Amino acid sequence: MSNQIFFTPGPAQTFYTFEQHLKTAIKEDIPSISHRSKTFQDIFASTTENLKTLFDLPDGYHVYFTASATEVWERIAQNLINHSSHHFVNGSFSRRFYDITKAYQLNASAEEAAPGGSFSLNVPEEAELVAVAQNETSIGFNFPDKEIYQVAENKNSDALLAVDMGSCAPVVPIDFSRIDTAYFSVQKSFGLPAGLGVWIVNDRCLEKAAQKEKDGHITGSYHRLSQLQKYAAKHQTPETPNVLGIYLLGKVAQDMLYRGVKQLRNETIYKSAILYQTMKELSWISPFIEEEQYRSKTVGVGKLNGVSATEIIEQVKAKKLVLGQGYGPFKEEHLRIANFPTHSKEQMEMLVDLLATL
């Protein structure tokens, strides 16, 4: 690694043990092993076990690997929705899932709030699947867990609840027994190279997908849910997957377990507090999200006042710290600052001290 520290929200700073695990992987020929070998089955089993522990998954929840969280949106549209889904949209990523269901010609509905705005939490009766972004990375919005559970109450009891955990897994807790499926990409809070997504589903999802398949609908091919499950049952994947990525994810998840999820969460809260406190104290930046409960703990977004994002990013980069630009229309108006498990308290303190001198 260079001597830069990335505070970009994804791709992000690699996890502090990444380089060591990568070296071991190369030494152990992980890129060359067969995805049908016992060695791979052991890696698959260990990575999924570590994730199950990390997320405290109840029985009847399964872990699969895709190429990205973007792919999971598509697989959900293909496998878990026959007619209609409902989406809470207040940023670019929640919108993209909504758009994908429309590309699959599903009768999707959405409650659209202003960027970073909150929601009524009402759900149409006919929605078979409800989609919530726990952390809307584009504008740093946190969907509070209590509100997610309220959505769970409000929806039709047959409906499935899907949670996008992108850039907040595993440090923002969620009770999996109240949701049906969740997913994330590894290049955000896990600090790994992009090219791997994780899809967690429960038995209700498997049943829904099996019924859709049985009814003669197209549900995809190699990554239809029934195929993912068939291979996962023997600790394999349907196709040659990103073996190296699965290996590295298992190692980083293990390191997070060694450290303790509670510890990671406490550190996240501390680092987030000093970040937002700094934004509040400075004249040229303020937290974009007004209400504290809706502010993301893992991606702090600041609204700029009288300066452009490019200007600030250039100044900070001279000190070897890399910040994220605003997303889409907010490119020059926002700064996005990741607060991931790999960022130490000292690094975040160094960053806020620097911001205070600008």
Q: Is 101 in contact with 75 (CB distance < 8 Å)?
A: no
Q: Is 133 in contact with 298 (CB distance < 8 Å)?
A: no
Tell which residue, 135, 81, 72, 124, has the closest CA to residue 104: 81
DSSP conformation class of 242: -
CB of 222 to a copy of itself, least distance (A): 5
Establish if 16 lies at the interface with a copy of itself (CB under 8 A): no
* Helix/strand/coil for 44: helix
Longest dimension (CA), the chain: 63
DSSP conformation class of 295: B
Binding positions for a copy of itself, 183-202, rule CB under 8 A: 185, 187, 192-196
CA–CA separation, 331 and 298 (whole Å)? 19
Phi, then psi, of 59 in degrees rounded to 5: -60, 150
**Residue 287 C-beta-side C-alpha neighbours within 13 Å:** 24
CB of 299 to a copy of itself, least distance (A): 14
Establish if 332 lies at the interface with a copy of itself (CB under 8 A): no
Q: Which stretch binds a copy of itself (CB under 8 A): 63-71, 114-122, 137-145, 270-278?
A: 63-71
> Could you tell me the sign of the dihedral formed by the alpha carbons of 9, 73, 118, 116, in that order?
positive
CB of 139 to a copy of itself, least distance (A): 16
Binding positions for a copy of itself, 268-307, rule CB under 8 A: none
Establish if 120 lies at the interface with a copy of itself (CB under 8 A): no
Establish if 105 lies at the interface with a copy of itself (CB under 8 A): yes
Nearer to a copy of itself, 12 or 130 (CB): 12
CB of 86 to a copy of itself, least distance (A): 18
Establish if 260 lies at the interface with a copy of itself (CB under 8 A): no
Establish if 31 lies at the interface with a copy of itself (CB under 8 A): yes
Per the listing, tokens 């609908």 go with: 217
Establish if 73 lies at the interface with a copy of itself (CB under 8 A): yes
CA–CA separation, 34 and 330 (whole Å)? 45
Nearer to a copy of itself, 78 or 272 (CB): 78
CA 57 to chain CA mean position, Å:
16
Q: How many residues does the chain have?
A: 358
Nearer to a copy of itself, 103 or 269 (CB): 103
CA–CA separation, 254 and 356 (whole Å)? 36
Q: Which stretch binds a copy of itself (CB under 8 A): 52-60, 61-69, 121-129, 282-290?
A: 61-69
Q: Choose, by CB under 8 A, the member of 50, 74, 255, 300 that binds a copy of itself.
A: 74
Nearer to a copy of itself, 19 or 291 (CB): 19
CA 136 to chain CA mean position, Å:
9
- Token pair of 176 as six digits: 């999996």
Q: Is 130 in contact with 151 (CB distance < 8 Å)?
A: yes
Binding positions for a copy of itself, 209-248, rule CB under 8 A: 218, 220-222, 224, 238-245
Establish if 310 lies at the interface with a copy of itself (CB under 8 A): no
Establish if 71 lies at the interface with a copy of itself (CB under 8 A): yes
Residue 346 makes CB contacts below 8 A (sequence gap 6+) with none
CB of 259 to a copy of itself, least distance (A): 21
Establish if 108 lies at the interface with a copy of itself (CB under 8 A): no
Interface residue list for a copy of itself (CB under 8 A): 1-2, 4, 6, 8, 10-14, 18-19, 22, 26-35, 66-68, 70-71, 73-74, 77, 99-100, 103-105, 185, 187, 192-196, 218, 220-222, 224, 238-245, 322, 324
